[in-house]
Amino acid sequence: MTFRDVFKSSFLEKAAEFSLMDIALAMVLAFAIALFIFYVYKKTFSGVMYSASFGVSIMAMTMITTLIILAVTSNLVLSLGMVGALSIVRFRTAIKEPLDTAFIFWAISAGIVIGAGLIPMGIIGSVFIGIMLLLFANRKSTDTPYIVVLTLAGDEAEEKSMALITEKTKKSLLKSKTVSPSGIELTVEVRLKDMSAKLLNELLAVEGVNSACLVSYNGDYVS
């Protein structure tokens, strides 16, 4: 074995098969699409606490997926090993917003498509998805549900407050009622007229109403 034979390994031969231009082009395109996904995420975010790290993670996820697909498509044996390696990966991070799941799948799908060389599909598909999310994901509803929580002194205050709620709202629905020696607590789902919170001041002016609280409600949790 000569000194030259030492460097004639299968690893170096496989490394020579890759085109640096193809890799660079795929990564640049993945980065451009990842920037677009990040932009859409920022524009459609409607939560309370914006997480910049999640947006950066989406960008990294797109590029990492592209790199993996480039490696998988170059070698059949490597693809089988990659599937086995990735099957043991487990993610424990809880996703707070349901829409975040869509962005994760979007980033992974874009990375797969670009890595597979289906560049027109990746670009056109991402544009359509981005437009759909910009149009619908951040759409403000004019009929937002709210929850009114009342602490009442007795039955008379309950009748007056419920009559006022029925009169001043588009729709109301009693969600819960708690009775204790100290008084009555009502939880009522309402649709406000003209999105005005003046109803709360009027309820507090009713005799026997000790406290009134108004919170937004999306059907899953109170925020």
> 């697909």: which residue's tokens?
69
pLDDT digits (tens, 9 = 90+) for 204-215: 888 888 888 888
Statement: residue 154 has pLDDT above 60? yes
Q: Is the pLDDT of residue 223 over 50?
A: no
Global pTM value: 0.63
From residue 164, how far is each of 20, 31, 69, 192, 202 by CA, in Å?
72, 56, 62, 12, 8
Question: Domain 145-216, what fold?
Answer: Alpha-Beta Plaits (3.30.70)
84-98 pLDDT tens trace: 555 555 556 666 677
Residues 194 and 164: their CA atoms lie apart, in Å, by: 16
User: Alpha helices of 89-152 — where are they, by DSSP H?
Assistant: 98-115, 119-136
Given this model, what pLDDT does residue 34 score? 93
What count of other Cβ atoms lies within 10 Å of the Cβ of residue 219?
Answer: 6
| Burial (CB count within 10 angstroms: exposed 0-12, middle 13-18, buried 19+), residue 33 | buried
Q: What is the mean pLDDT of the chain?
A: 78
pLDDT of residue 3: 46
Q: Is the pLDDT of residue 58 over 60?
A: yes
Q: Where are the domains of the chain?
A: 3-136, 145-216
